[in-house]
Amino acid sequence: MAEPLVRLTDLKKSYGNFEAVKGIDLEIAAGEFIAIMGPSGCGKTTTLRMLAGLEAPSGGEIFIGGERMNDVPAHERDTPMVWQSLALFPFLSVRENVEFGLKMRGLPKRERRERVAVWLERLGLEGFEKRRVDALSGGQRQRVALARSLVTEPKMLFLDEPLSALDAHLVIRMQGVLSKLQKDLGITFVYVTHSQSEAFAMADRVVIMGHGEIVQTGRPKDIFRAPRNRFVAEFVGRNNIFAGTVAGGVINVDGTQLPLPGAADGPAEIVVAADRMTVSLERPNTAALEAEFVSEEFVGTAIICYFEGPGGEELKAQVTERELELLAPEPGKHFFLSWEPDAPHVMAVTS
Amino acid sequence: MRRTGGAEADGAGRGGVLLYLAIVFAFVFAPIITSMIFSFNSDRFPTVPLGEFTTHWYETAFSRPEVWEAMQNSLIVALTAATLSTALGFATAYTDYRYNFRFKSAYIALALLPPTIPLVIMGLAMLAWLARLGISGTLTGIIIAHTVMAAPFAMAICRLRLSQMDPALEAAAWNLGASQWRAMRSVVVPFCLPAIVSAFCLTAAVSFDEFVVAWFVSGLNKTVPVVILEILQGNVDPQINAIGTFVFLTSMTLVVVAQLLITRRRKA
């Protein structure tokens, strides 16, 4: 197998007694769009900062392009980053901002100007050369930050929650810009975010981190359908998690017997995505949970209905508008929730 | 309805505030303005009604060699002390911004201490210390004393500016290939430039005005405030008004420039 572009082995970072990153192993291939996600404080940004050389690892190794990078200072690494705050230089013009990296590399002025012009045009910023960055809109500043990082034509780009400061409609548009850019350039994007929608919309592969460790790595679809444990299932959202005991292919959840073919006997946690749930007024032929309606939430074209299960747990089911009309739910009304036998995914039980 | 009532009440309140401000400013500036007016008055003694307009006192004051010499001394001391204290102040503020270390709060407290020391004590201590070093009575001695006294102001101004700097800004420079030194030159200093110039003006003003410590350590190399006192000790002379006006305008210009640079907001 070819050497991956980035390889982290047993990478650690601690601040005093606090272990921010607890020995992670990760390989990133050239040309991959990888998203590292997790709740705040999970170590994702620290991992990115170690990759960029802004934090020194407490242990483990970082290889980029087969070369050990642990002791290479930040300014000698070709790992430009787009910052959460964008960190544009406020005292420089758009052109001077974009030019910065080229200037540090000692490129002659003419070449700098040419390359800056190419990138400003590429990102739709032509004519803004002499503007001050604080005279630009949020979306334009975002694109200046991108141009500044990409003008040196790096093999990879790090993005640290770059869209968190933008309005919702701009986020969607920038996701499109980023996806297209990554495909066109064919370079590696390492994207750190706590937003599931951003990560799932763009990334080829998602790394879920929690408490300084990598909990699960996989394609967005696989992580959504088959979360490894409760932490991932809860973080990804719109999942129903049931804990129970399996005996002979049947799981007992709070007294309700639900089929779970092929599962090993013993305590188990299963997850069923909200969009695999069926809500009915009458008890269906298959096994079903009786639950009390709590509220509904519109998400785009679908509606998420919230129920309280027999054990008091929150249950979610995605329905269409038409289904909602037929069900006519009211708080306190009882429904039956069921699913196809292949819908549940059995997770590793977390202690 | 309520708005209109509020606006009327605001109008009255505003008038009150303006009047109050006018009184405060009159109280503060009346002596200075009086001194300025008498500097152009032909009468020997400050009495009303005024005599004729004259620039005589300026002519005589500035024809005195000791005044010229003092001006020259003050200028050298102010510029050198301002340069040194701004450099020191910026460096201290940057260590505070950038690094965390044990006893950092003690370090900051110590760095900010000099202005809280009574001037007479400071003057005596400087005199004793500089005499031992053999530089008492030299311009170098005054420069050292003024640098010590002014550096905390420079530090405070630079610290304020650094606190407004996004910590990612410097990291972004490293990330784009700037070494630490290069990032300092091309990002941190340009970002802090208004504060640095402002600190320079303010520390120059502090040094230019400073009398007590200069009086203790100056010896024969007198600065302007020391010469003013010496002339005044001899007799009441309108030349003092002329020199005072000049000193006031110089200091005020420096302070106003400093203020403008600190409070200036970038246009959005």
Classify residue B180: in a domain, yes or no: yes
Quote the CA–CA distance of A215 and A235 in Å, as a whole number: 11
Q: Would an 8 Å CB–CB cutoff place B104 in contact with chain A?
A: no
Beta carbons of A84 and B168 less than 8 Å apart: yes
Total domains, chain B = 2
Contacts of B171 in chain A (CB under 8 A): 54, 74, 83, 87
Classify residue B169: in a domain, yes or no: yes
Cβ contact A300:A293 at 8 Å: no
Q: Are residues B144 and B243 in the same domain?
A: yes
Looking at the partner chain, which of B166, B168, B268 has a beta carbon nearest the beta carbon of A135? B268
Is the per-residue pLDDT at A131 higher than 70? yes
Residue A152: what pLDDT?
A: 93
Please list the alpha-helical segments (H only) found in chain B.
2-39, 56-63, 65-98, 104-111, 119-133, 139-163, 167-175, 180-183, 189-209, 212-217, 224-234, 238-263
Q: Would an 8 Å CB–CB cutoff place B121 in contact with chain A?
A: no
Classify residue B145: in a domain, yes or no: yes
Q: Are residues B20 and B134 in the same domain?
A: no
Q: Are residues B245 and B118 in the same domain?
A: yes
Q: Are residues B190 and B70 in the same domain?
A: yes
Q: Are residues B258 and B217 in the same domain?
A: yes
Q: How many CB atoms lie within 10 A of CB B256?
A: 12
Residue B225, token pair as written in the block: 């405030």
CA-based Rg of chain B, rounded to a whole angstrom?
A: 23
Residue B36, token pair as written in the block: 């300025």
Is residue A119 very low, low, confident or very high in pLDDT (cuts 50, 70, 90)?
very high
Classify residue B94: in a domain, yes or no: yes
Beta carbons of A87 and B172 less than 8 Å apart: yes
Q: Would an 8 Å CB–CB cutoff place B178 in contact with chain A?
A: yes
Residue A36: what pLDDT?
A: 96
Q: Are residues B99 and B17 in the same domain?
A: no
Residues B30-35: contacts with CB within 8 Å, 24+ apart? B32/B244, B32/B248, B35/B240, B35/B241, B35/B244, B35/B245, B35/B248
Contacts of B268 in chain A (CB under 8 A): 134-135
The residues near B82 (Cβ < 8 Å, ≥ 6 apart) are B150, B200, B201, B203, B204, B207
Residue B1: what pLDDT?
A: 44
Looking at the partner chain, which of A53, A80, A134 has a beta carbon nearest the beta carbon of B176? A80
A141-155: pLDDT as tens digits = 999 999 999 999 999
Average pLDDT of span A175-204: 91
Quote the CA–CA distance of A135 and A330 in Å, as a whole number: 50
Is the per-residue pLDDT at B229 higher than 70? yes
Quote the CA–CA distance of A133 and A92 in Å, as a whole number: 7
Cβ contact A135:A168 at 8 Å: no
Q: Between residues A257 and B25, which one has the greater pLDDT?
A: B25
Classify residue B109: in a domain, yes or no: yes
Q: Strand order of the sheet with strand A314-319?
A: A278-280, A334-338, A289-299, A302-308, A314-319
Classify residue B2: in a domain, yes or no: no
Residue A92, token pair as written in the block: 């420089």
Classify residue B1: in a domain, yes or no: no
A235-250: pLDDT as tens digits = 887 888 888 888 888 8
Q: Which domain holds residue B207?
A: 64-267
Q: Are residues B135 and B31 in the same domain?
A: no
Residue A112: what pLDDT?
A: 95
Is the per-residue pLDDT at B11 higher than 90? no
> What letter represents residue B165's amino acid?
M
Looking at the partner chain, which of B168, B180, B190 has a beta carbon nearest the beta carbon of A87? B168
Q: For the ranges A202-206, A211-215, A273-277, which has the lowest average pLDDT?
A: A273-277
Looking at the partner chain, which of A90, A104, A135 has a beta carbon nearest the beta carbon of B182? A104
Contacts of B190 in chain A (CB under 8 A): 89, 91-92
Smallest CA–CA distance, residue A71 to chain B, in Å, is 14
Classify residue B33: in a domain, yes or no: yes
Is the per-residue pLDDT at B266 higher than 50? no
H or E element, residue B266: none
Beta carbons of B266 and A101 less than 8 Å apart: no
Residue length of chain A? 351
Residue B139: what pLDDT?
A: 93
Looking at the partner chain, which of B172, B193, B268 has a beta carbon nearest the beta carbon of A134? B268
Average pLDDT of span B159-171: 94
B91-147: pLDDT as tens digits = 999 999 999 998 999 999 999 999 899 999 999 999 999 999 999 889 999 999 999
Q: Are residues B68 and B50 in the same domain?
A: no
Contacts of A97 in chain B (CB under 8 A): none
Is the per-residue pLDDT at A321 higher than 70? yes
Q: Would an 8 Å CB–CB cutoff place B266 in contact with chain A?
A: yes
B193-228: pLDDT as tens digits = 999 999 999 999 999 989 999 999 988 889 988 988
Average pLDDT of span B151-158: 95
Q: How many CB atoms lie within 10 A of CB A222?
A: 14
Is residue B7 very low, low, confident or very high in pLDDT (cuts 50, 70, 90)?
low
Q: Are residues B51 and B69 in the same domain?
A: no
Average pLDDT of span B177-201: 95
Residue A29: what pLDDT?
A: 94
Is the per-residue pLDDT at B78 higher than 60? yes
Is residue B265 very low, low, confident or very high in pLDDT (cuts 50, 70, 90)?
low
Contacts of B172 in chain A (CB under 8 A): 81, 83, 87, 89
Is the per-residue pLDDT at A116 higher than 80? yes
Beta carbons of A91 and B193 less than 8 Å apart: yes
Beta carbons of B172 and A81 less than 8 Å apart: yes
Q: Would an 8 Å CB–CB cutoff place B268 in contact with chain A?
A: yes
Residue B9: what pLDDT?
A: 59
Residue A262: what pLDDT?
A: 79
String of DSSP letters for A151-183: TT--SEEEEESTTTTS-HHHHHHHHHHHHHHHH
Cβ contact B238:B39 at 8 Å: yes
Residue A2: what pLDDT?
A: 66
Q: Are residues B51 and B151 in the same domain?
A: no
Smallest CA–CA distance, residue B94 to chain A, in Å, is 18
Q: pTM to 2 decimals?
A: 0.82
The β-bridge relationship of strands A302-308 and A256-259 is unpaired
Round the average pLDDT of chain A to a whole number and report it.
Answer: 90
Q: For the ranges A21-30, A115-124, B8-17, B213-222, which has the lowest average pLDDT?
A: B8-17
Contacts of B191 in chain A (CB under 8 A): 89-91
- Choose the mutation target among A89, A119, A156, A159 for the interface with B, i.e. most B CBs under 10 Å: A89
At which of B15, B35, B56 does a domain end?
A: B56
Quote the CA–CA distance of A137 and B59 in Å, as a whole number: 59
Domain CATH code at residue B73 = 1.10.3720.10
Average pLDDT of span B187-198: 95
Smallest CA–CA distance, residue B174 to chain A, in Å, is 5
Smallest CA–CA distance, residue A176 to chain B, in Å, is 25
Average pLDDT of span A91-107: 95
Round the average pLDDT of chain B to a whole number and report it.
Answer: 89
SS3 category, A37: strand
Cβ contact B231:B240 at 8 Å: yes
Residue B136: what pLDDT?
A: 87
Q: For the ranges A115-129, A270-284, B129-143, B154-168, which has the lowest average pLDDT?
A: A270-284
Is residue A33 very low, low, confident or very high in pLDDT (cuts 50, 70, 90)?
very high
Is the per-residue pLDDT at B187 higher than 90? yes
Residue A85: what pLDDT?
A: 92
Q: Are residues B152 and B245 in the same domain?
A: yes
Quote the CA–CA distance of A263 and A249 in Å, as a whole number: 6
Is residue B263 very low, low, confident or very high in pLDDT (cuts 50, 70, 90)?
confident
Q: Are residues B28 and B85 in the same domain?
A: no
First to last CA, chain B: 35
